Amino acid sequence: MTTRPKRILAIQNMEGEGFGRFERHLRQDGHDLAVLHAYRGEPLPLPEACDAVLVGGTPLAAYRWEEHAFLREEAAFLQRVVAAGTPCLGVCFGSQFLAHLLGGRAYRADRKEIGGYDVHLTEDGRRDPVLAGFPPRFPVFHWHGDTFDLPPGAALLVRGDGCRNQMFRLNNVVGVQFHPEVTVEDATEWTAAYGAELADVGKTREQVVAECRAIDPEMDRLAARLLDNFLAVLVR
């Protein structure tokens, strides 16, 4: 737990892709959380108005951000935020977008990952206080077809057996490829909205929801731990 409420900006980049467990945990802890719907053109604040920034997901490709006016504005905002030293936590597209903006590369992966998977701490991950209290191997929920190369100087904290780069940290920026924020309710809605993608991984809607439900208690615990660590370690 942190000692005082933080001013946290959560940038939502797609209708239906909110912050789930993250939002619930942050509000329960009394933080000042503002969810900004960037895809609707809502104006971004000044960087100094935030103690931390969360960057959410979208099916849009991070490597095609310049095609979208709201992402062009978001990119400029995030570059100012990072330069100011404000901690940023990006999820899925958010991790790819931050990696890309920091000099890495986002691109189409050679496979999709949808449903429940296990990932592993790297040696850097075992040492990083952002992951204090995490087991060496833990379950996560995935829904992505893109991936990223690490930005120069970044440490790989979590690796996967399929898409290798699952979490990185570069100074005040953390990128998480998997979806710690997704609830069973979110997964159910996504299987309806994006059901056509399930054939690519050979799964049914029922399987994906069941995989999310099976790991729900552990994901709940680890999502809260990740947020608490992130705020305690990086937010001053």
Catalytic member of 25, 31, 144, 179: 179
Contact, 174 vs 15, CB < 8 A?
no
**CA distances to 2, 3, 25, 84 from 30, in Å:** 10, 11, 9, 25
pTM attached to this predicted model: 0.95
- At 76, give phi and psi (nearest 5°): -65, -40
Residue 3 pLDDT: 60
Catalytic member of 25, 31, 88, 92: 92
Query: How many Å apart are CA 223 and CA 128, to the nearest integer?
Result: 16
What are the chain's domains? 7-234 (3.40.50.880)
- At 2, give phi and psi (nearest 5°): -95, 165
Residue 2 pLDDT: 41
Please name which of 82, 57, 59 lies closest in space to residue 180, comparing C-alpha atoms. 57
Q: Is 212 annotated as catalytic?
A: no
Residue 236 pLDDT: 83
Residue 1 pLDDT: 42
Catalytic member of 113, 181, 197, 211: 181
**Numbers of helices and strands, H then E, in the chain:** 7, 9
Q: Is 142 annotated as catalytic?
A: no
Name the token pair of 123. 């040696």
Contact, 2 vs 228, CB < 8 A?
yes
At 164-193, the pLDDT tens digits run 999 999 999 999 999 999 999 999 999 999
- At 97, give phi and psi (nearest 5°): -65, -50
Q: Is 181 annotated as catalytic?
A: yes
Each residue's pLDDT tens digit in the chain (236 positions)?
Answer: 446 789 999 999 999 999 999 999 999 999 999 999 999 999 999 989 999 999 999 999 999 999 999 999 999 999 999 999 999 999 999 999 999 999 999 999 999 999 999 999 999 999 999 999 999 999 999 999 999 999 999 999 999 999 999 999 999 999 999 999 999 999 999 999 999 999 999 999 999 999 999 999 999 999 999 999 999 999 98
Query: How many Å apart are CA 135 and CA 54, to the nearest integer?
Result: 24
